Structure 1
Amino acid sequence: MMKQVSLSLFAVVALFSSCQKATVEEQIAAYLIPFEQVDTASFEEIANRIGDCDLVILGESGHGDGTTYEVKAELVQYLMKEKGFNTLALEGEGFIQMEIKNNGYPDLFPHADVSKWKPHWGNVVQTTGLVRDMLHNQHLNWKYIGIEGYDHHVPVHDFLYAELEKGKLDTKTKNQFIETYKKMIQYDEKGITVEEVDFILETMTFIIENVQDQTKNGFIKQALVNIKGGLEDYKYTGILGGYENENKYVNIRDKRMAENVIWYKKNNPEAKIIVWIANFHGAKQAQNVRYRENDPDLYQRFKLFAEYLVDAFDTKVYSIAFISSSGEAKEIHENSTLRQIYTPENALEYYLHQRNTPFGYLDFNEVKAKEPTLK
């Protein structure tokens, strides 16, 4: 999804227009609050603006900008240790695995072992301090939310078959489900049809609608919703594929990621949550953005992660995008190569770069309040 992620840098900028001589981006850049180093004093400026929001989204323009990871990791530590945040929601981590880490559920997932878990960016040098706190400082009592439906680290088939057996389905349907599901989880796109996938999804819907969930927080039902979600991802990206289906997948995934955070927050109202995610998913009012390539109305089709949270929690949600104007980035996977961070002339990053400061912070609430014509 890198194309959409990279464009998210301009999501807020595109909400403004201006007839003045200076470009909108140049006017906005003038409001940069610079700071020379990443430290407590710099973060205090940000924390003052976050105020009493208890859902903070921390984005990134791409999964591999080392400086962004370093600042995000230190900001997370600051907010968790100094400002009362106690829960970290993670893009790229499965819902079931993180709930097992939080609460165990040995009766439902007896073979799950999360003792060796670390976040997918756990070996990144710039996040070393945060990862050490997450894995070894248990006295901090931090909790975690996996926001993904897919989960490659916890065997879920025994749990799923047990719930299937409890459902009011005939033996033929149950056997067909198990046979088809085993075929699906081999991830052989050529060996399974769309009709078979739809059968699995329809059966999953029936199970979810009729589940007898005895857990006090509704975990069984939410776990089933996420298993179904991972299968939906497989349908649109693995079986169908193509531009339109990938965009459908974006909408389905963002809704489910948000529903996982909403589920957790409603079950744990005292939770103060930081979300580690891409800028794209943390954008608000994305429908107003004009896409810069051959599909200018693309963003009108999306309702993104942050917008569901705003619907649920209104002003308690604060979203921060991270961008870089220069340097190199590298994806977090083997055989990835370094690439230059490209800043087009007249982009917001271009004008921010002219401010000659290593770090800075833009408060768009302040910009909108002081420059109401920039809309």
Structure 2
Amino acid sequence: MRQIKLMVISIIVLIGCSKSTEEQIVEEMTVLNNATDFDFFDYFLHENEILILGEASHGDGKTFKVKSEMVKHLIDNFGYNTIAFEARDFLEMEIINGRTGINSLAPYLNQNNWVRQWSPWGPSQQIQPLVEVAQADQNLKFIGLEPYASRNIHHILIYLKSELAEINAEIFDPQKWDLLQGIHLNLLNRKPDLISSDDYLSYLDYLDENFNHLKQLGDNQKNNHILFLLQSVENLHTYVKISQIHASDLPEKEALNKIVKLRDKQMAENLMWHKKRNPDAKIIVWMANFHGARDLKNIRFADGNPERYKKFNVFGEHISNTYGDKVFSIAFTSSEGKSKMPYDFEGIEKQIIEPEDNTLEKTLENTNADFGFVNFREIRRTKPSLKEEYFNSIMLGYVNQNGKWLNAFDGLFYVRKQEPAKPIK
């Protein structure tokens, strides 16, 4: 009898061990009743200060809708009071926040409809709940994560010239600044062929000179406005360095690695700048899964060098290293449907989502769930051996890649059938 019992136990163990990593993860999924069933947040968000909401692709209309409703729920029920945006720049959102002293910059920005000016999300019908929240809640604050957008870069230069001439009078050189303005206009008008390597170096050196002068001011002089100017100059410096790389002869992938490194670090610095001055801020971050990952080092890049993700830190890695478990990063993924940005421009194509059989998404598709949530952080705690397992997923741009995905994010929101972003009429 004892031998029979041992045999039965052995069979059960073998059956359990025969399950794939993907199956074991999907077993932990909370199946949601609908796209706005957000009760799962009750179990882990109360101590959270920074919640990153990703998306597999910037054309995921169904995800836009879910995230927009999610933002409203989080503000109403969990006290979130700040939204940080990929693809909105630092200075734009400071204008929206009502910062004094930058009124001269306000006219170029449509403050009554600024969310709809936000590309590629703004033209999408599916973000209407987000538009309504941003317009209705006067207590909300916003963070622009990007260095600068080309649409406002000319206005920023005029503003900084006025400010730096007044504050840095002893080192400010109007003739040199006018020379830099010519370089700047070529950047604005996308004429990199008219900008030499020496031009870029002169521009960056002069920004460094002004930045260092501001930084060396005594603490009694470093009021909020000076600290804001420091951050503004730092963002402009990053913008120029990124432009310099774009104009270089570097191979495309090498250039992109350098740009990601600069851009994501600056995005993180902009959020940390706001958080330092607003310690009670509870921040929702809207961005791509890629930027929001806590750890990409053990994901094998599918198109080329498999070690590529080890060459830089993305935004989520910087933020997680600074704030630890106060950050919770949620990736979004789908197993069928289509994705397309809300434009009809040439080159904007519809992406068909077709996960391969060996992916997590295919395992998710085999369930009956239309929507679900998997708490990766809880799996790492309760089943620590799984976090060392490599498996395949398409959650970065719907490209099949192998890696330790449980460490890349804290959670995964599953939307079975994706839909393209629909342009507003």
What interval of TM-score do these two structures reach, taking the shorter chain for normalisation?
A: 0.7 to 0.9
Match of 1:204 in 2: 207
Residues 287 and 101 from structure 1, CA distance in 2 versus in 1: closer, same or farther, beyond 3 angstroms?
same
SS in 1 for 2:335: coil
Match of 1:302 in 2: 312
> For the residues of structure 2 that align with 1:326 and 1:102, how far apart are their CA atoms?
39
2:60 to 48, 52, 65: 65
Task: Using the TM superposition, give the Cα deviation of residue 47 of structure 1 relative to its aligned residue in structure 2, in angstroms.
Answer: 3.7
> For the residues of structure 2 that align with 1:110 and 1:297, how far apart are their CA atoms?
43
Matches within 5 A, 1:212-291: 214-215=223-224, 218-240=227-249, 242-291=252-301
Match of 1:132 in 2: 132
Match of 2:148 in 1: 150
Deviations 1:146-189 (A, max 9, x none): 10012244321211222453541556543432332233322202
Match of 1:188 in 2: 191
Match of 1:353 in 2: 365
> For the residues of structure 1 that align with 2:255 and 2:237, how far apart are their CA atoms?
17
> For the residues of structure 2 that align with 1:108 and 1:209, how far apart are their CA atoms?
25
1:25 to 18, 22, 27: 22
Task: Using the TM superposition, give the Cα deviation of residue 282 of structure 1 relative to its aligned residue in structure 2, in angstroms.
Answer: 1.0
Gaps of 5+ in 2: 1-15, 389-425
TM-score normalised by the chain length of structure 1: 0.87
Match of 1:117 in 2: 114
Task: Using the TM superposition, give the Cα deviation of residue 237 of structure 1 relative to its aligned residue in structure 2, in angstroms.
Answer: 2.4
> For the residues of structure 2 that align with 1:145 and 1:123, how far apart are their CA atoms?
20
SS in 2 for 1:50: coil
Q: Answer yes or no: is the 8 Å Cα contact 1:85–1:271 preserved in 2.
A: yes
> For the residues of structure 1 that align with 2:62 and 2:106, how far apart are their CA atoms?
38
Task: Using the TM superposition, give the Cα deviation of residue 48 of structure 1 relative to its aligned residue in structure 2, in angstroms.
Answer: 2.2
Task: Using the TM superposition, give the Cα deviation of residue 138 of structure 1 relative to its aligned residue in structure 2, in angstroms.
Answer: 4.1
> For the residues of structure 1 that align with 2:99 and 2:163, how far apart are their CA atoms?
18
SS in 2 for 1:373: helix
Task: Using the TM superposition, give the Cα deviation of residue 231 of structure 1 relative to its aligned residue in structure 2, in angstroms.
Answer: 1.6
Task: Using the TM superposition, give the Cα deviation of residue 338 of structure 1 relative to its aligned residue in structure 2, in angstroms.
Answer: 2.4
SS in 2 for 1:105: coil
| Larger displacement relative to structure 2 (360-369 or 209-218) | 209-218
SS in 1 for 2:246: helix
Task: Using the TM superposition, give the Cα deviation of residue 277 of structure 1 relative to its aligned residue in structure 2, in angstroms.
Answer: 0.6
Task: Using the TM superposition, give the Cα deviation of residue 73 of structure 1 relative to its aligned residue in structure 2, in angstroms.
Answer: 0.7
Match of 1:52 in 2: 47
| Larger displacement relative to structure 2 (212-221 or 156-165) | 212-221
> For the residues of structure 2 that align with 1:195 and 1:21, how far apart are their CA atoms?
62
> For the residues of structure 1 that align with 2:207 and 2:103, how far apart are their CA atoms?
18
Q: Answer yes or no: is the 8 Å Cα contact 1:29–1:351 preserved in 2.
A: yes
Give the counterpart letter for 1:361 in structure 2: F
| Larger displacement relative to structure 2 (212-221 or 118-127) | 212-221
Task: Using the TM superposition, give the Cα deviation of residue 325 of structure 1 relative to its aligned residue in structure 2, in angstroms.
Answer: 0.8
Q: Answer yes or no: is the 8 Å Cα contact 2:150–2:188 preserved in 1.
A: no
Match of 1:4 in 2: none
> For the residues of structure 1 that align with 2:54 and 2:368, how far apart are their CA atoms?
23
> For the residues of structure 2 that align with 1:163 and 1:191, how far apart are their CA atoms?
27
Residues 108 and 60 from structure 1, CA distance in 2 versus in 1: closer, same or farther, beyond 3 angstroms?
same
Match of 2:303 in 1: 293
Give the counterpart letter for 1:132 in structure 2: E
> For the residues of structure 2 that align with 1:108 and 1:263, how far apart are their CA atoms?
21
Deviations 1:255-283 (A, max 9, x none): 00001000000101111100001101111
Matches within 5 A, 1:73-112: 73-107=68-102, 109-110=104-105, 112=107
> For the residues of structure 1 that align with 2:372 and 2:192, how far apart are their CA atoms?
46
SS in 2 for 1:103: coil
**Aligned pair count?**
353
> For the residues of structure 2 that align with 1:277 and 1:52, how far apart are their CA atoms?
22
SS in 2 for 1:346: coil
Give the counterpart letter for 1:38 in structure 2: A
Task: Using the TM superposition, give the Cα deviation of residue 201 of structure 1 relative to its aligned residue in structure 2, in angstroms.
Answer: 1.5
Give the counterpart letter for 1:25 in structure 2: E
Match of 2:328 in 1: 318
Deviations 1:88-129 (A, max 9, x none): 000010110100110243456355443241233223121112
Give the counterpart letter for 1:34 in structure 2: V
Match of 1:10 in 2: none
Bigger-Rg structure (1/2): 2
Give the counterpart letter for 2:211 in structure 1: I
Gaps of 5+ in 1: 1-18
TM-score normalised by the chain length of structure 2: 0.78
| Larger displacement relative to structure 2 (164-173 or 247-256) | 164-173
Give the counterpart letter for 1:342 in structure 2: E
Give the counterpart letter for 1:233 in structure 2: I
Match of 1:35 in 2: 32
Q: Answer yes or no: is the 8 Å Cα contact 1:68–1:324 preserved in 2.
A: no
Moved beyond 6 Å, runs of 4+? none
